[in-house]
Amino acid sequence: MAPRTMFQKIWDAHVVRQEPGQPATLYVDLHLVHEVTSPQAFDGLRLNNRKVRRTDLTIAVADHNVPTDDRSGGNVVLEDAVSAAQLDALARNTAEFDIEYYDMYSPNQGIVHVIAPEQGRTQPGMIVVCGDSHTSTHGAFGAIAMPIGTSQVEHVLATQCLSQSPLKTMEIRVEGALPTGVSAKDLILGVIARIGVDGAQGYAVEYTGEAIRSLSMEGRMTLCNMSIEAGARVGMVAPDETTFAYLKGRPHAPQGDEWDAAVERWRQLPSDPDAEYDSVLIIDAAEMAPYVTWGTNPGMAVPVTDAVPSPSDFAEQQDRDAASRALEYMGLEARTPITGIALDRVFIGSCTNSRLEDLRAAAAVAKGRRVHPDVYAMVVPGSTQTKLLAEAEGLDAVFREAGFDWREAGCSMCLGMNPDVLQPGERCASTSNRNFEGRQGKGGRTHLVSPAMAAAAAVAGRFVDVREWE
Amino acid sequence: MEAFNKITSAVAALDRVNVDTDQIIPAQYLKLITKTGFGPYLFDSWRYGPDRAPKPDFELNRPGYENARILVSGRNFGSGSSREHAVWALVDYGFRVVIAPKFADIFHKNCFENGLVPVIVSDDVLEQIMIRAKEQPGWALTVDLEAERLDDGAGFSAPFVVHEDPETHAFRRYTLLNGLDEIGLTLRHEADIARFEAARSR
Ligand code: SF4
């Protein structure tokens, strides 16, 4: 057989039907559902008298809208009527269609892309889908994980299949080792700054190379998570010992003999040595630095040691226009050093950077220091399990003592659908994935950074190069 | 899904690149649990001032564009999120067609699922449309999917596709023309799905 990439292997193993000129019908192993993109899908099923085909391969969780202040009383009243309606709808729909559901009080609750890996549900070789852009996160395990729209949510619920045209493959090979103080978040921001927000459009990206192999699963998830911001539909990393060690013993991972058999299968997944990608990009890890975005898309990023660019730096007129618009929205002057930008808010959270390792990185910086008096800083763990683990090792105390607000799990200010939002004009260092206009609240100004950079910014009240603190 | 054959309508010009889904429908409006009712919030933060008065300098508020069912914009339209609400908002507002030189991937796919016709033209054709729509608000264009042509009846005429890949174009053109949704298409092959499941559990 001709050499195949990991993407092709997984794809081939899931084709239910393929007709020339039409999208392939692919079988889905895991379907993740949340409150925002599912109500209309369930409505559609009901209208057409359709059932959920595989309730055993579907789970639902409340994450996008849930309030993140104390929920321990179990009696949260949502101020926002529509958030409440969406959460009610999910509870009703999952009961009616017999789907396992984690509501906001469940110990298994959390951001959908955090809980599935954490429970061992996301596994190598799978096709995973979810009605959320950052589904690419799960590709960190060597899976094809794709975001789908609500019509496709309905499609997968009804058929357990996805209708999908093939994607081209791109290898992003990161050679060498990342310098100290440079995280997976910085790497992906650096990649997007280089290739642009549509640089990987239409591709499934596979990350390879020494720097990727040495990343933890958390780091790989951060990387795959933001692949979508480079336009890719899929980001993936081949499974290896790091992957197996992470999965072993998790509640939904295979157990006993099944575990050994599974690992044997998973070892076959990595791309064959002479498999060809449609496109290859080689990056030298040593060139990477902590990145900060200055504009209104994730590609508008520079190393922390640089300054905000001027529109005149861009060759194309439309990019110059976009830069002027971004500077105006962001309230920034060209040539301002990044370290000269003062902040009002800091948000540590989101499916990009809210796992235990991220919280540890931020806590290591925060420890023994104080949040700047002009800054309100919040830490929102990615899941209730993550929160409990962090508390067990005392991270909550570190954050609280430093003046951070330690909150309950959810998407929170990543997209500001719950009460956690920026006020117009407020400037925020955020570990999330999107700095679009108004993403964190109308008129809010978002700068994307790593967890360590965010914690350091909270302390200094402006951006600082975290490498100087280590 | 409503079948599409052809329409003639005024063209509203939104001369920007990378128009993202957060602008098309800001997140605070994603909370409706139906597929309709998003139109009033389309381009919300560009369209309205603080008191929700329409901003006169926002493109869609220009006189002549009120009844436009065709929108023309720059490359990478619909970038950002998988939120299908962006397509529902455009449709609920009244658009049936969006013309651009390139659509963001997921948005592009979502168009087909909801009968919004993504018309892809060359940069050159785009410019001609953009100029006319900007300089003569109310300028009308016919989008004929059967014939795969744009025509203003006054000398401007150009071909288009709904997808860059010729085979996908042909398939999507067929489903748009026939108003076919994808679940119906897939469920015609229930036996294949059952066979696949059986083979797996062995
Ligand atoms: S944390 Fe943000 S990006 Fe992730 S799933 Fe939630 S809203 Fe989406």
CB contact under 8 A, A21 and B17: no
Q: With bands split at pLDDT 50, 70 and 90, how would you rate the model's confidence at A112? A: very high
Taking only Cα atoms into account, the Rg of chain A, rounded to an integer number of angstroms, comes to 21
Q: Within a 10 A sphere around the Cβ of A119, how many other Cβ atoms?
A: 18
- Tell me what pLDDT residue B185 has: 83
**Is the pLDDT confidence value at A191 over 70?**
yes
CB of B32 within 8 Å of a chain A CB? The answer is yes
Give pLDDT tens digits for A389-421.
999 999 999 999 999 999 999 999 998 888 889
Query: Considering only CA atoms, which of A157, A420, A238 is closest in space to residue B182?
Result: A157
Strands (E), A342-396: 345-348, 376-379
- Tell me what pLDDT residue B33 has: 83
Q: Which carries the bigger pLDDT value, residue A45 or residue A305?
A: A305
Count CB pairs under 8 A between chains A and B. Answer: 152
**Is the pLDDT confidence value at A22 over 90?**
no
Strands (E), B80-123: 97-100, 117-120
State the closest ligand 1 atom to the C-alpha of A113, by its place in the atom list counted from 1. 5
Shortest CB distance from A131 goes to which of B82, B168, B200? Answer: B82
Q: Which carries the bigger pLDDT value, residue B31 or residue A191?
A: A191
DSSP symbols for A241-295: HHHHHHHTT-TTS--HHHHHHHHHHHTT-SPPTT---SEEEEEEGGG---EEE-S
Q: With bands split at pLDDT 50, 70 and 90, how would you rate the model's confidence at A80? A: confident
Residue A32 alpha carbon to ligand 1 centre in Å: 13
Whether the CB-CB separation of A182 and A269 falls below 8 Å is answered with: no
Average pLDDT over chain A, rounded to an integer = 96
Instruction: Quote the CA–CA distance of A371 and B4 in Å, as a whole number.
Output: 58
In chain B the first and final C-alpha atoms are separated, in Å, by 38
Q: Which residues contact A331 (CB under 8 A, 6 or more apart)?
A: A425, A427, A445
How many C-alpha atoms does B10 have within 13 Å on its Cβ side? 17
Report the alpha-carbon angle A276-A279-A285, nearest 5.
105
**Is the pLDDT confidence value at A48 over 80?**
no
**Is the pLDDT confidence value at A376 over 90?**
yes
- Tell me what pLDDT residue A150 has: 87
- Tell me what pLDDT residue A470 has: 62
Nearest CA to ligand 1 atom 1: A350
Q: Return the DSSP state at A348.
A: E
Instruction: Quote the CA–CA distance of A128 and A109 in Å, as a whole number.
Output: 19
- Tell me what pLDDT residue B202 has: 66
Q: With bands split at pLDDT 50, 70 and 90, how would you rate the model's confidence at A467? A: very high
Pairing, β B149-151 against β B140-144: antiparallel
How close is the nearest chain B Cα to the Cα of A23, in Å? 8
Instruction: Quote the CA–CA distance of A33 and A54 in Å, as a whole number.
Output: 13
Give pLDDT tens digits for A145-167.
999 988 899 999 999 999 999 99
A97's tokens: 């269609």
B146's tokens: 């059967």
Whether the CB-CB separation of A177 and A286 falls below 8 Å is answered with: yes
> Is A415's C-beta closer than 6 angstroms to any atom of ligand 1?
yes
Of chain B residues 130-189, which have a CB less than 8 A from chain A? 165, 167-168, 170-171, 181-183, 185-187, 189
pTM of the entire predicted model: 0.84
Q: Which residue in chain A has the smallest CA separation from B28? A: A417
Helix (H), strand (E) at residue A152 = helix A150-159
Q: Please tell me whether residue A128 adopts helix, strand or coil conformation.
A: strand
Report the alpha-carbon angle B151-B155-B159, nearest 5.
40
Per-residue pLDDT of chain B (202 residues), as tens digits, is 778 999 999 999 999 999 999 999 998 887 778 778 899 999 999 999 988 999 999 999 999 999 999 999 999 999 987 788 999 999 999 999 999 999 999 899 889 988 899 999 999 999 999 999 999 999 999 999 999 999 999 999 999 999 999 989 999 999 999 888 788 789 889 999 999 999 987 6
Q: What is the ipTM of this complex?
A: 0.89
* Burial class, A347, CB count within 10 angstroms (exposed 0-12 / middle 13-18 / buried 19+): buried
- Most confidently predicted of A77-86, A130-139, B166-175: A130-139
Report the alpha-carbon angle A228-A229-A230, nearest 5.
90
Instruction: Quote the CA–CA distance of A440 and A430 in Å, as a whole number.
Output: 9
Q: What is the mean pLDDT of residues A244-256?
A: 97
State the closest ligand 1 atom to the C-alpha of A432, by its place in the atom list counted from 1. 2
